[in-house]
Amino acid sequence: MDKAFLEQMQKKVEEQLGHREIETVTYWKEEVEKLLRKKPDSLTSLLQDVQQLDKRMENRLAMLKRSRAL
């Protein structure tokens, strides 16, 4: 393979990874914003919401790690 082709492919992959990272961060930012708009009744309620978000993120990471291991 020639050098120009490899550089072009590398640039394309980096662009795709950057785009996916933006999408991922945007999704989780929106989830946090939902919690902020929710205006919980108490600190306990807020803590529970944050714990649920943390669990969702943990589950997603575990799924991604499993899919990469296949």
Task: Say how far apart CA 48 and CA 25 lie, in whole Å.
Answer: 22
Task: Say how far apart CA 26 and CA 66 lie, in whole Å.
Answer: 23
- Tell me 70's DSSP state: -
Residue 22 has pLDDT above 80, yes or no: yes
Residue 46 has pLDDT above 80, yes or no: yes
pTM, whole model, 2 decimals? 0.71
Task: Say how far apart CA 32 and CA 39 lie, in whole Å.
Answer: 12
pLDDT band for position 39 (cuts 50, 70, 90):
confident
Give residue 2's region: left, alpha or beta (phi > 0; psi -120 to 50).
Answer: beta
Instruction: Please name the helix (run of DSSP H) or strand (run of DSSP E) that holds residue 48, with its range, or none.
Output: helix 43-69
